[in-house]
C-alpha cells in the first residue's frame, strides 16, 4: 500500500508541474515507476526477496540516499538534461520525505551512515502539497521550456 501512495504522489506532482501532463504518458510512467522503483533497494539492503526481511533491513539502500539524489539532479541540470532532472526530483523527493518520518533523511551512505532525526509528520504534511508548486515555480524561472528538452515529444504526439 505504501508503494502505491508513493506512485500516486509522484504522478499527481508531475501533473501539476507540466502544462499538459496527459499528453506525455511516457513521463507519467517514468515518474510512477521511479516513485515505486526506489523501494527495490530495501530488498538489496536485506539481501533477500522476503518482504519481511526487506522491511527490517539493517541499513537503507543507496536509492534512499537524499544526497546522491541531489548530486545526480544537479549534474542533470548542469548538463542541460533539465527534463530528466525534474523527473528525478518528482520521483524521489516526495518518497524520501514520506520515508523520513520513520527514520530521517539518509544523507551519506557510507559506514557509519549519516542521517537526520525523523522528520515531523506535520512538516511532511505541510510540504508535500506545496512541493509541486515549488517545482512548478522552479521550472518556470530557472529551466528552459520543457518542450525544448524532450527529444521524444514528437514521437508521442504523432
Dump pLDDT digits (tens) for 10-52.
Answer: 888 888 887 776 666 788 888 888 888 888 888 888 888 888 8
Neighbours of 103 (CB within 10 A): 14
- Which residues, including other chains, have CB under 8 Å from residue 78's CB and lie 6 or more apart? none
pLDDT in tens, 83-110: 888 889 999 999 999 989 988 898 887 7
Place of cell 538489496: 44
Local structure of 107: helix, strand or coil: strand
pTM strictly above 0.85: no
CA distance 12 to 151: 23
CA distance 50 to 117: 27
Amino acid at each position: 500500500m505504501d508503494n502505491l501512495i508513493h506512485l500516486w504522489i509522484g504522478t499527481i506532482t508531475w501533473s501539476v508541474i507540466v502544462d499538459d501532463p496527459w499528453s506525455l504518458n511516457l513521463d507519467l510512467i517514468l515518474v510512477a515507476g521511479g516513485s515505486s522503483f526506489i523501494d527495490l533497494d530495501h530488498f538489496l539492503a536485506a539481501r533477500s526477496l522476503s518482504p519481511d526481511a526487506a522491511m527490517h533491513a539493517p541499513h537503507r539502500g543507496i536509492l534512499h540516499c537524499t544526497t546522491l539524489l541531489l548530486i545526480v539532479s544537479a549534474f542533470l541540470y548542469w548538463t542541460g538534461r533539465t527534463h530528466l532532472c525534474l523527473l528525478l526530483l518528482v520521483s524521489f523527493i516526495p518518497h524520501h520525505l514520506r520515508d523520513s518520518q520513520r527514520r530521517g533523511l539518509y544523507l551519506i551512505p557510507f559506514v557509519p551512515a549519516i542521517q537526520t532525526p525523523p522528520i515531523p509528520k506535520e512538516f511532511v504534511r505541510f510540504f508535500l502539497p506545496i512541493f509541486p508548486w515549488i517545482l512548478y515555480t522552479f521550472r518556470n524561472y530557472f529551466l528552459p521550456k520543457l518542450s525544448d528538452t524532450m527529444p521524444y515529444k514528437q514521437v508521442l504526439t504523432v
